[in-house]
């Protein structure tokens, strides 16, 4: 299990190069549109792109112009439910969490509160507080049904702006009340089945707001996530697209717009598992990194789950977050021991503190072999049966009828194993 940090850095460099190429000017400043090869820019993609630069430890060459654009697009209104937020290009000028959550979180991350001529962080913060629903969650704006993804966006922003506000506790309580009691995962809302995407995003959010994650319910959620994520696939087959309508009165007339959220579940799951309060699953994280490393396209993004050749900011952000988390989040936990030399750093878990390092390395090799056979035993049995049967037919010990009958069992076992693996995903 090896993660090549030089390869990781190359992937990040390619992604930032893509963002530099796709920056677009506007009448006031500039930024990015969610389809990176299109204009004009929008506040959501601009907030996400700036966050990507920040996570990589760099400052965009267009930082000042992007803040000018965000300031120009920040809503000013006498209505406290509107003032301070950002509208999407498709939300009829109404500020929504889908945009404001991303922008506000970036302003907090980059400590932009005192930036001259920048957007108002204080008003953005107040918009989030004012638009919390009575139930403690957040929808697109106050009064819209609370959704897991949007509640996480709000809480992640508040974690950077004021994690001690009572709205954070109410939002956390709303999330915990929506946890599926059978699987311990989360879905889009109360009525949907748990998904890798939403479970991972909740676990990331709970870590960022400093919620207690030592209870069985949260630890079981991490276990569910580890069991159901497929590190060889970048998207979430059960939540590729989250879509819903938002309705509101605009200038006295009813208005409805459709919102689509694209989800790449696996990199979000890696970011969640790297925040595991106990022991992050190293094999899953390493396998996921290998997939991310192999699947980045020449342009610096990852395949578009909607199909087509368009380049989406959503086919970049979760991968940048996962890669920077792999690089920056230390795997060290309380009571672990570190073996540190000029050429080697090894973190030894508390439960293995009494065993020599050489024995641990041998155990890891044996564990990898065991897991390989656990995944492939049915295929290996089918291959062995096929070869053995053909040899017996060739020497006259088996008839072709005997051969066909003998293949029924290994083929059946292979189909059962594949069905179980698909169910886990």
pLDDT for 23 equals: 97
pTM equals: 0.82
Where does residue 411 rank: exposed (0-12), middle (13-18), buried (19+ CB within 10 A)? middle
CA distance 356 to 37: 54
Tokens of 164: 């001690």
Q: What is the distance between the alpha carbons of residues 244 and 261, in angstroms, rounded to a whole number?
A: 9
3-state secondary structure of 127: helix
CB 254 within 8 A of CB 212: no
Residues 342 and 416: their CA atoms lie apart, in Å, by 49
**In the chain, how many H helices and how many E strands?**
14, 6
Predicted local confidence at residue 354, as pLDDT:
64
Give kind and range of the element (H or E) at residue 70: helix 63-73
pLDDT for 411: 84
151 CB neighbour count, 10 Å cutoff: 28
Residue-wise DSSP of 368-410: HHHHHHHHHHHHHHHHHHHHHHHHHHHTTSS-HHHHHHHHHHH
Token pair for residue 253?
Answer: 């007339």
pLDDT (average), residues 16-38: 95
Picking from 166, 159, 233, 152, the residue whose alpha carbon sits closest to that of residue 199 is: 152
Tens-digit pLDDT profile for residues 125-141: 999 999 999 999 999 99
pLDDT digits (tens, 9 = 90+) for 170-226: 999 999 999 999 999 999 988 889 999 999 999 999 999 999 998 999 999 999 999
* Cis geometry, peptide bond prior to residue 167 (ω within 30 degrees of 0): no
User: Collapsing DSSP states into helix, strand and coil, what is residue 283?
Assistant: helix
pLDDT of residue 245: 95
Q: What is residue 369's predicted lDDT score, i.e. its pLDDT?
A: 60
Domain map of the chain by residue range?
5-331, 340-424
Residue-wise pLDDT for 321-370, tens only, equals: 999 999 998 777 676 777 666 666 677 666 666 666 666 566 555 555 66
Name the residue with higher pLDDT: 288 or 421: 288
**CA nearest 45: which of 17, 81, 70?**
70
Structural domain 5-331, CATH architecture: Alpha/alpha barrel (1.50)
pLDDT tier, 28 (very low <50, low <70, confident <90, very high otherwise): very high
pLDDT in tens, 56-102: 999 999 999 999 999 999 999 999 999 999 999 889 999 999 999 99
Residue 243 has which token pair? Answer: 């879509």
> pLDDT digits over 96-122, tens only?
999 999 999 999 999 998 888 899 999
Report residue 363: phi and psi, to 5°: -65, -35
Average pLDDT, the chain: 89
313's enclosing H/E stretch is none
Q: Of the candidates 88, 94, 118, which has an alpha carbon nearest to the alpha carbon of residue 106?
A: 118
Q: Is 96:113 a contact under the CB 8 Å cutoff?
A: no
H/E element holding 256?
Answer: strand 253-262
Tokens of 312: 């989406």
Q: How many residues does the chain have?
A: 425
Distances 350 to 117, 333, 345, 347, 414 between C-alpha atoms, Å: 50, 9, 16, 9, 39
């Amino acid at each position: 299990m090896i993660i090549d940090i030089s390869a990781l850095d190359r992937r990040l460099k390619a992604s930032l190069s893509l963002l530099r190429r796709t920056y677009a000017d506007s009448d006031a400043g500039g930024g990015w549109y969610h389809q990176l090869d299109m204009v004009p820019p929008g506040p959501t993609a601009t907030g996400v792109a700036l966050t990507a630069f920040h996570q990589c430890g760099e400052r965009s060459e267009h930082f000042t112009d992007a803040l000018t654009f965000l300031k120009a697009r920040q809503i000013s209104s006498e209505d406290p439910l509107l003032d301070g937020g950002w509208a999407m290009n498709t939300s009829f000028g109404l500020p929504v969490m889908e945009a404001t959550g991303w922008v506000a979180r970036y302003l907090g991350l980059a400590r932009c509160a005192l930036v001259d001529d920048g957007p108002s962080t204080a008003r953005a913060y107040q918009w989030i507080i004012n638009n919390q629903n009575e139930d403690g969650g957040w929808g697109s704006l106050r009064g819209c049904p609370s959704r897991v993804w949007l509640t996480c966006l709000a809480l992640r922003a508040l974690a950077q702006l004021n994690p001690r506000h009572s709205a954070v506790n109410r939002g956390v309580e709303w999330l915990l009340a929506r946890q599926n009691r059978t699987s311990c995962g989360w879905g889009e809302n109360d009525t949907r089945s748990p998904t890798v995407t939403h479970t991972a995003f909740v676990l990331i959010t709970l870590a960022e707001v400093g919620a207690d994650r030592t209870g069985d319910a949260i630890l079981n959620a991490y276990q569910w996530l580890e069991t159901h994520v497929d590190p060889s696939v970048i998207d979430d087959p059960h939540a590729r697209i989250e879509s819903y309508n938002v309705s509101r009165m605009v200038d006295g007339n009813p208005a409805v717009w459709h919102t689509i959220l694209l989800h790449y579940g696996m990199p979000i799951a890696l970011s969640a598992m790297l925040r595991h309060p106990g022991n992050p699953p190293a094999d899953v994280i390493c396998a996921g990194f290998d997939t991310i490393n192999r699947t980045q396209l020449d342009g610096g993004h990852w395949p578009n789950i909607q199909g087509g050749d368009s380049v989406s900011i959503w086919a970049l952000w979760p991968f940048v977050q996962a890669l920077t988390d792999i690089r920056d989040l230390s795997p060290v936990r309380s009571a672990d021991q570190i073996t540190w030399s000029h050429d080697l750093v090894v973190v030894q878990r508390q439960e293995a503190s009494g065993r020599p390092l050489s024995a641990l390395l041998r155990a890891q090799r044996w564990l990898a072999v065991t897991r390989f056979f656990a995944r492939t035993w049915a295929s290996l049995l089918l291959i062995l049966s096929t070869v053995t049967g053909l040899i017996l037919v060739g020497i006259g010990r088996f008839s072709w009828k005997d051969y066909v009958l003998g293949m029924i069992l290994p083929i059946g076992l292979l189909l059962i194993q594949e069905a179980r693996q698909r169910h886990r995903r």
